[in-house]
């Protein structure tokens, strides 16, 4: 099934590890086959992985974008998820953690990233950061 991306002027995205930037007008792209695609808003820089939930998100993102580095990123993901689950008591959040783990184990990294956003929101609420946008913070550049 094709994937259609509607892009804002200048918006960056990653396709199979390559950073691509849209030109000066809105554009639509259609990807006809399976590819690892992340929009700029979903890309996290290493220094932005500054909370436990974000430290779960970051290695999942690496597994999604970098097939060659998956084993190393998986080890980091497993350790961070175990730490998070050890500190959480809310059954719904623990169920979401299990869902993230199942998605990763099934190779569904993008789905795992989207589930992990819920963990980031939960964490922000628990840390008293109030309501946060479901998107992951991104810098003005993606590298």
> Does residue 140 register a pLDDT over 80?
no
Residues 23, 64 within the same domain: no
Q: Which residues contact 104 (CB under 8 A, 6 or more apart)?
A: 60, 63, 74, 77, 112
Residues 51, 38 within the same domain: no
Position 139 in a domain: no
pLDDT at 45: 92
Residues 53, 38 within the same domain: no
Range of the domain at 113: 46-127
Percent of the chain having pLDDT more than 90? 62
Q: Where are the beta strands (DSSP E) in 2-138?
A: 3-7, 12-15, 18-21, 27-31, 37-39
pLDDT at 3: 81
pTM score, whole prediction: 0.82
> Does residue 135 register a pLDDT over 90?
no
pLDDT digits (tens, 9 = 90+) for 80-100: 999 999 999 999 999 999 999
How many domains are contained in the chain? 2
3-state secondary structure of 49: coil
Q: Quick one: pLDDT band at residue 36, thresholds 50, 70, 90? A: confident
């Amino acid at each position: 099934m094709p994937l259609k991306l509607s892009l804002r002027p200048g918006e960056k995205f990653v396709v199979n590890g390559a950073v691509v930037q849209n030109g000066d007008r809105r554009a639509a792209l259609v990807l006809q086959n399976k590819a690892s695609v992340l929009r700029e808003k979903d890309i996290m820089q290493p220094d932005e992985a500054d909370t436990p939930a974000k430290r779960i998100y970051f290695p999942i993102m690496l597994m999604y974008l970098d097939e060659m580095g998956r084993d190393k990123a998986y080890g980091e993901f497993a350790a961070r998820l175990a730490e998070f689950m050890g500190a959480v008591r809310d059954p719904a959040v623990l169920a979401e953690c299990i869902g993230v783990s199942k998605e990763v184990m099934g190779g569904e990294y993008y789905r795992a990233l989207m589930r992990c956003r819920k963990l980031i929101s939960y964490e922000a609420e628990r840390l008293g950061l109030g309501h946060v946008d479901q998107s992951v913070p991104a810098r003005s550049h993606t590298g």
